[in-house]
């Protein structure tokens, strides 16, 4: 009996038998990242603190928490998270399901979705609240929340942000000599002294915006539903002939050229549609990719 108890005590003292605490979660960092290929299409990240986009949303396939997102955070399908192919990370966005009017703020902290015909990928919890079915796609509008997104960009650490060191120019020694005031200048001297002695009042406050809470609260809003038209956009040009040449490459999709603006500011957009189902617009998108148009995208108008 004593021998068995001794063995148990020895095993308890052996290294590696004690329970180690889990490693701390990595701190969030701000990033854009380099161009990358995902799902057969190249994406080029860029900053946009006031952007609005409309397209299709899908549910991210992750079912369990624990993996790291593109900017080093921990993904949790039970939190309000999202993935976007080009947006700065992290960013706060308002996502509205145009088909039922539900609106929710999400934290975009990963790259995706895998399907390039989808505008944004939603965590399971975000999809449930917005009414997006697993394996399906719904029309959404995505609006970048400017103030909280700028706060994240300005206050989170970043390996991409470069600080430029600026040295002050050397200052020489200044010799001063007090001179007697000119006759009749006493009153002006007293006025200057009074202005110097008075308290300095700042009219501009240095305000640093607060970082948004992490995780975000589940604050669901209800807007009027307003689904739009599913369209395929295949490029925008400043010359009509170039747009017509692009449209000819996908003539089988009944593409056309639409002018936006007038005069020197006119642009010519190549579009096809409208399509009356997600399956139809997905087939058109695949046809555009097959024709060698990697800039094609699915939009809602």
Q: Answer for the pair 61, 121: CB distance below 8 angstroms, yes or no.
A: no
pLDDT at 64: 81
Read off the pLDDT band of 45 (50, 70, 90).
very high
Indicate the average pLDDT of the chain.
Answer: 85
Read off the pLDDT band of 29 (50, 70, 90).
very high
Higher pLDDT, 82 or 198: 82
Higher pLDDT, 297 or 27: 297
The average pLDDT across 100-129 equals 98
Structural tokens at position 38: 């995902």
Q: Residue 175 above 70 pLDDT?
A: no
pLDDT, tens only, 230-281 = 999 999 999 999 999 999 999 999 999 999 999 989 999 999 999 999 999 9
pLDDT at 298: 98
Domain spans, the chain: 24-156+212-227, 229-301
Q: Could you give the CA distance from residue 156 to residue 169 in angstroms, rounded to a whole number?
A: 31
Read off the pLDDT band of 224 (50, 70, 90).
very high
Structural tokens at position 296: 């094609």
pLDDT at 167: 54
Higher pLDDT, 134 or 180: 134
pLDDT at 101: 98
CA triple 151-124-152, angle to 5 deg = 5
CB atoms within 10 A of CB 280: 14
pLDDT at 90: 98
Fold for the domain defined by 24-156+212-227? Barwin-like endoglucanases (2.40.40)
CA-based nearest residue to 256, from 274, 277, 276, 238: 274
Confidence (pTM): 0.78
Q: Residue 205 above 80 pLDDT?
A: no
pLDDT at 63: 76
Fold for the domain defined by 229-301? Alpha-Beta Plaits (3.30.70)
Read off the pLDDT band of 59 (50, 70, 90).
very high
pLDDT > 70 fraction of the chain, expressed in percent and rounded: 75
């Amino acid at each position: 009996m004593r021998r068995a108890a001794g063995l148990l005590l020895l095993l308890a003292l052996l290294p590696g038998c004690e329970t180690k605490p889990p490693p701390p979660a990595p701190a969030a960092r701000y990033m854009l990242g380099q161009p990358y290929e995902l799902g057969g299409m190249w994406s080029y990240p860029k900053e946009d603190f006031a952007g609005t986009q409309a397209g299709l949303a899908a549910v991210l396939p992750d079912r369990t928490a624990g993996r790291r997102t593109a900017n080093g955070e921990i993904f949790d399908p039970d939190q309000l998270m999202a993935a976007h192919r080009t947006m700065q990370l992290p960013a706060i966005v308002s996502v509205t399901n145009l088909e039922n009017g539900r609106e929710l703020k999400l934290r975009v902290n990963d790259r995706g979705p895998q399907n390039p015909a989808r505008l944004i990928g939603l965590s399971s919890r975000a999809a449930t609240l917005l009414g997006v079915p697993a394996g399906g796609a719904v029309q959404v509008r995505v609006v970048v929340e400017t103030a909280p997104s700028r706060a994240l960009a300005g206050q989170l650490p970043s390996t991409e942000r470069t600080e430029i060191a600026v040295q002050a120019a050397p200052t020489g020694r200044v010799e001063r000599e007090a001179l007697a005031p000119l006759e009749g200048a006493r009153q002006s001297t007293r006025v200057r002294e009074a202005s110097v002695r008075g308290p300095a009042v700042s009219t501009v406050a240095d305000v640093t915006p607060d970082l948004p809470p992490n995780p975000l609260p589940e604050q669901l809003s209800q807007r009027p539903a307003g689904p739009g038209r599913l369209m395929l956009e295949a490029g925008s040009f400043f010359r009509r002939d170039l747009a017509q040449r692009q449209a000819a490459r996908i003539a089988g999709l009944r593409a056309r050229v639409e002018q936006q603006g007038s005069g020197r500011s006119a642009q010519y957009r190549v579009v096809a549609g409208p399509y009356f189902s997600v399956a139809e617009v997905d087939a058109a998108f695949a046809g555009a990719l097959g024709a060698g148009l990697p800039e094609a995208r699915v939009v809602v108008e």
